[in-house]
């Protein structure tokens, strides 16, 4: 089955600094990749997804991610973060027509003033 | 369009008690799933369903039962609650061709 590793459990950054949250995946077949955000005491909200096509994917709130097949990575980036970006971020992977979505352990992003 | 709804939001059980977590969706999605979220472990798949009358096990199915009698509803049953089942439970539905899963707001369960 496919799997995901999020390389950082916590990422502290200052407001207006750039940030990168790292995600690597493993799968023997072609994958779909996702980033979800979870604000405190809330459910998961989709930030962006890669299904096919352009490897650079833009999402909500100014986030983007790049699919790199050779490095099996799908890192999430934002050029300038805000206090309101403080949340937990989950990378997830699934395959075509497959309901078995696997999640990483999560990265807690803390934006400091 | 309410999306995915879950009830209750919070629940406290004693060891050995049983209960059902409710999940409903109004997007006519064939696929529905149940996950549990524990600190440092992300979300782990408990059970899923690819349509009415069809269910299957995920990564961590022990201690849980599911059924899918309609497209809209996918309840999760805890047969005999244990402290290890203390967690936040999320229900999700999806269109498999789109890949994306839509999540409910979660149920926070504590087993004493």
Model confidence over A29-51: pLDDT tens digits?
888 999 999 998 888 999 999 98
Which whole-number Å values give the CA distances from B9 to A84, B65, B105, B108, in the listed order?
A: 24, 19, 8, 6
Nearest to B103 among A43, A100, A104 (CB): A43
A100 contact B CB<8A: yes
Nearest to A49 among B42, B100, B106 (CB): B100
Match 């995946």 to its residue by tokens. Answer: A25
Q: How confident is the model at residue B83 (pLDDT cuts 50, 70, 90)?
A: very high
A101 contact B CB<8A: yes
Is residue B48's pLDDT more than 70? yes
Nearest to B42 among A42, A100, A105 (CB): A105
Structure tokens at A18: 């750039």
Calculate the CA dihedral of residues B109, B10, A60, A112 and round it to 10 degrees. Answer: -80
Is residue B97's pLDDT more than 80? no
Structure tokens at A31: 């994958």
A74 contact B CB<8A: no
pLDDT at B71: 95
CB–CB contact B40 A103 (8 Å): no
Q: How confident is the model at residue B101 (pLDDT cuts 50, 70, 90)?
A: confident
pLDDT at B47: 95
pLDDT at A98: 67
Structure tokens at B86: 């203390």
Mean pLDDT, chain A, whole residue set = 93
Structure tokens at A69: 């097949």
pLDDT at A99: 67
Counting as low any pLDDT under 50, the low residues of chain A are: none
Q: Rounded to whole angstroms, how far apart are CA atoms A4 and A77?
A: 17
For the four alpha carbons of B80, B21, A43 and A113, in that order, the dihedral sign comes to negative
Q: Rounded to whole angstroms, how far apart are CA atoms B54 and A68?
A: 35
Number of neighbouring beta carbons within 10 Å of residue B17: 14
Q: Rounded to whole angstroms, how far apart are CA atoms B24 and B105?
A: 12
For the four alpha carbons of A63, B101, B24 and A42, in that order, the dihedral sign comes to negative
Q: Rounded to whole angstroms, how far apart are CA atoms B93 and B73?
A: 10
Nearest to B42 among A94, A98, A104 (CB): A104
Match 């149940």 to its residue by tokens. Answer: B34
A7 contact B CB<8A: no
CB–CB contact B45 A98 (8 Å): no
Is residue B63's pLDDT more than 90? yes
pLDDT at B81: 96
Which whole-number Å values give the CA distances from B108 to A23, A43, A51, B29, B76, in the listed order?
A: 27, 11, 32, 24, 13
pLDDT at A42: 85
Q: How confident is the model at residue B6 (pLDDT cuts 50, 70, 90)?
A: very high
Adjacent-strand bridge partners of A87: A109
pLDDT at A105: 93
A32 contact B CB<8A: yes
Within 8 A by CB and 6+ apart from A17, the residues are A80, A81
Q: Identify whether the C-beta of residue B86 lies closer than 8 Å to the C-beta of residue B110.
A: yes
- Smallest Cα–Cα separation from B24: which of B88, B89, B104? B104
């Amino acid at each position: 089955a496919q799997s995901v590793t999020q390389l950082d459990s916590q990422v502290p950054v200052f407001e207006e600094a750039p940030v990168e949250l790292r995600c690597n995946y493993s799968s023997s077949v072609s994958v779909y990749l996702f980033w979800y955000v979870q604000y405190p005491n809330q459910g998961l909200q989709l930030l962006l997804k890669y299904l096919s096509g352009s490897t650079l994917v833009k999402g909500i709130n100014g986030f983007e991610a790049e699919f790199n097949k050779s490095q099996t990575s799908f890192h999430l980036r934002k050029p300038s973060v805000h206090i309101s970006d403080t949340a937990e971020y989950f990378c997830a992977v699934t395959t075509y027509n497959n309901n078995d979505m696997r999640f990483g352990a999560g990265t807690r992003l803390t934006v400091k003033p | 369009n309410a999306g995915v709804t879950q009830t209750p939001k919070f629940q406290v059980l004693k060891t050995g008690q049983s209960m059902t977590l409710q999940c409903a969706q109004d997007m006519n999605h064939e696929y529905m799933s149940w996950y549990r979220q524990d600190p440092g472990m992300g979300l782990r798949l408990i059970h899923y369903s690819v349509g009415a009358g069809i269910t299957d096990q995920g990564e961590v199915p022990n201690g849980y039962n599911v059924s899918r009698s309609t497209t809209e509803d996918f309840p999760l049953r805890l047969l005999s609650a244990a402290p290890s089942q203390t967690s936040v439970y999320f229900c999700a539905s999806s269109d498999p061709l789109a890949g994306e899963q839509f999540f409910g707001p979660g149920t926070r369960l504590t087993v004493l």
